[in-house]
Structure 1
């Protein structure tokens, strides 16, 4: 097993707005480039994101089940899988997204866990370690510009 990937960032807007960036289709497209999503915002609900959508199909998909949702505070997705046509289907994993109110807005923490070792797992873990800090900085810039 590989260690969880943990990333945190302070964002100058409300915790509710920060958390909504992970389930609102407009926000998902704006900061993460998600082209299609199906999210049932409740415990047991589906959480599916798709990127690079074309007539040929979908190139990347992440999907799981919501195990915990507290508005403006927490969104936890379990049994999450990642599909990439050039790799093995990877999963199950968890992604735990939490937001705490701060003086400037909110403190976002994202924990992604459940990584195995070897082959495509090593590639994916390295990709996620590299990508999350950049993605969260992009999210911060996006939300702070939208909140103005």
Structure 2
């Protein structure tokens, strides 16, 4: 199966980086997440929502936390993507690992489990472009804090 991987050096602690993926206020600041329901523990819920309107929810990503270490790792399994104009896509996994470096940390992100055909091809192309761009903004966000 296809996957999207990004590795990035960031001048920030592993704890600060992982926290930015689980704290709803931080997610809103760097990823424009409008609503989040996150239980930062193994088997906890991880749900993010964008474009909330009186008519409903725009986009939802949701899964179950398979591994969580606030100093090094967040792995979300059973990760699904819901878009009102597309098929339901999933399950996938999202892995975020942070390793200390001499100056800062190395962030590794991998989203995998993509299938092929139809909306899967659209989603893979979108995510393949989005994660590298988004993580450059994330790097600036972490380094400015």
Q: TM-score, normalised by structure 1?
A: 0.96
For residues 31-72 of structure 1, the C-alpha deviation after alignment (integer angstroms, 9 at most, x for no partner) is 111010000011000000000011111100000000000111
Q: 2:60 — aligned with what?
A: 61
Structure 2: 5+ residue runs without aligned partners?
Answer: none
**Whole-angstrom CA distance in 2 between matches of 1:141 and 1:17:** 13
Q: 1:50 — aligned with what?
A: 49
Q: 1:7 — aligned with what?
A: 6
**Whole-angstrom CA distance in 1 between matches of 2:30 and 2:103:** 20
Shift of 1:111: 0.5
Q: 1:140 — aligned with what?
A: 139
Q: SS state of the match for residue 72, structure 1?
A: coil
Q: SS state of the match for residue 144, structure 2?
A: helix
Structure 1: 5+ residue runs without aligned partners?
Answer: none
Shift of 1:103: 1.4
Q: 2:17 — aligned with what?
A: 18
Question: RMSD over aligned Cα, in angstroms?
Answer: 0.7
Q: 1:128 — aligned with what?
A: 127
**Whole-angstrom CA distance in 2 between matches of 1:29 and 1:55:** 19
Q: TM-score, normalised by structure 2?
A: 0.98
Q: SS state of the match for residue 114, structure 2?
A: coil
Q: 1:97 — aligned with what?
A: 96
Following superposition, which runs of at least 4 residues in structure 1 exceed 4 angstroms of deviation? none
Q: SS state of the match for residue 124, structure 1?
A: helix
